[in-house]
Amino acid sequence: MNVEFKTRSKSLVDRMVKTIAWQWEADSIAANSILTTLAPFITSTEAFAAWSVITASEVVHAAYLF
């Protein structure tokens, strides 16, 4: 992938970098807000466990993008 960043046009590379940065930011926001926002409304233990797994996945995805 690094080779493609070096050999593609600057405008294409800039768009890709901005897209990756946006995805990283969105994952970071999701990791920090999904469970916190939903927790007061979740009455099922199973649903809380499921959202906890989703949140943990977002934390890993946001932390290890590269």
Question: Residue 47 — very low, low, confident or very high, per pLDDT cuts 50/70/90?
Answer: very high
CA 29-35-40 angle, to 5 degrees, is: 130
What are the tokens at 58?
A: 């977002």
22 domain residue, yes or no:
yes
pLDDT-above-70 percentage for the chain: 94
Determine how many CB atoms are found less than 10 A away from the CB of residue 31.
Answer: 19
CA–CA separation, 2 vs 4, rounded Å?
Answer: 5
Question: What's the whole-model pTM score?
Answer: 0.60
Cβ atoms of 25 and 62 closer than 8 Å: no
Domain hosting 55: range is: 12-63
Separation between Cα atoms, residue 66 and residue 64, nearest integer Å = 6
pLDDT at 32: 82
**Structural domains of the chain, count:** 1
**37, part of any domain:** yes
